[in-house]
Amino acid sequence: MRQASELVEGYRTGALSPVEATQEALDAIERYDAQVNAFVLVDAEGALAAAKESEARWHAGTPLGPGDGVPTSIKDALWTKGWPTLRGSTMIDAAGPWDEDAPSVARLRETGAVFLGKTTTPEYSWKGVTDSYTYGATGNPWDPSKTSGGSSGGSATAVGLGMGVWSLGTDGGGSVRIPAAFTGTVALKPTYGLIPLFPPSAFGTLSHAGPMTRTVRDAAALLDVVTGFDSRDWSAMPTPGRSFLDGLDDGIAGLRIGFSVDLGFVDNQAEVAALVRTAVGVLESLGAEVTEVDPGFADPIDAFNVLWWSGAAKVLSAYTVDDRVDPGLRRVAELGAAYSASDFLDATAVRMDLGSLMGRFHERYDVLVTPTLPITAFPVGQDVPDGSASPDWTAWTPYTYPFNLTQQPALSVPCGFTSAGLPVGLQVVAPRHADARTLRVGQAYQAATDWHLRTPTLEAQ
């Protein structure tokens, strides 16, 4: 499967065509999507028309930007002009009007990216797997009977099977990193505000947009495109002054890495822990100074749940709720509606304390490295793995949501496969605004390994 950089260079030289690349992506959708349900909308006619326009621009030497002609999908949580954004819900009127792009989608359109369609999400992106009454469940590229993770599971499965090179997801508690770990792909939750959001999420400042790709280099290239300032987002950061590709290959010699295999409170599957330790050994062999250490915080799950369940209550407060709404969403919304303003502020205080603690941690360590998840993918259609003591998705995602609370950049890269053939992810967390550092660590790891080059062997049907 080609990277975006390979496509763009091929377009520049004439060795490749945006039409050819788009047709390859559409062919992959035709071959595989019936098995995995990654897409809720595919616009083959519109994609090929856009690809022909891109081809003409490249032939004329006038591409719109660095993403011109790159086949791209959008999670069905981000407004996309001309297409309904139903968020996996029966409560949204498909009639629209749909006359505005979300900021990141607008930046992709401006660069000439070819939009293939919208990818599957659970209802209002509320949980860590991808299924809904509206669109059903999304399977894993390595085993469709297993979950893709979520809530950006459709995007992860799409890029994992070559159904487009880039995808854009969202992450409020791990929603790009969870499916990246489960599917053997790459995803970055950037510093909050780096990728503007509009309309604002009901889950507030926990929610980020993020690039989802097969490689770190592609994630950096996509991040370059979607980080432009947008005045509709009151918390949007200024447009970065340099490319995230700059310095990507500088290596990690001398970098101070704090490695925690369990954050002091997580139980991992044995193979997950072993593969992550091996991956950290690779980083050490590349010259990084690795110290095994825990950041020193207790599991902030209760505080996160107060904030997240409150957001769920806000989502449902605007609708007449019936049996077509995800029962888990209804359950946590009821919990969220019972919280007081004092509860919310107490949870916010935990969040601020955690942010301060991690700020001090990064005075000593340039990055924190952990597993992305303590487990591998479990059966599709379940919110939690078999035997879970909790019905909540946050019970099995302890490495991801803490860094939504702190708004730090966090990258997931594939670091191996279990004996059952399921992917495992390595998470790299950096201080706020050090997104380029997470990418540099991930790129160094991928340059020394080949996990990201391995592709699923799903048979076409």
End-to-end CA gap in the chain:
20
The encoded tokens of residue 130 equal 């991808």
Name the active-site residue from 125, 132, 148, 175.
175
Report helix, strand or coil for 411.
strand
Describe the chain by its helix, strand, coil percentages, rounded to 5: 40, 15, 45
Residue with tokens 């050819």: 20
Crossing angle of the two packed helices 44-60 and 18-36, in degrees rounded to 10: 160
3-state secondary structure of 416: strand
How many other CB atoms are there within 10 angstroms of residue 355's CB atom?
A: 15
Q: At what angle do helices 270-285 and 435-448 cross, to 10 degrees?
A: 90
Residue 68 contacts residue 113 (beta carbons within 8 Å): yes
List of residues 6+ apart from 125 with CB closer than 8 A: 75, 77, 87, 88, 150, 151, 152, 170, 172, 175
Type of residue found at 219: A
d(CA 400, CA 347): 17
User: Which residues does 262 contact at the CB level (< 8 Å), separation at least 6?
Assistant: 268, 273, 294, 374
Catalytic residue among 17, 54, 73, 75: 75
Q: Tell me the CB-side half-sphere exposure of residue 22, using CA atoms within 13 A.
A: 28
Burial of 167 (0-12, 13-18, 19+ CB in 10 A): buried
Distance CA 17, CA 127 (A): 38
175 is catalytic: yes
326 φ, ψ to 5°? -45, 125
Q: Is 75 annotated as catalytic?
A: yes
Question: 125, 151, 201, 260: which is the annotated catalytic residue?
Answer: 151
- 231 classed as catalytic: no
The DSSP bridge partners found for residue 73 are 117, 167
Would you name the residues annotated as active-site residues?
A: 75, 151, 175
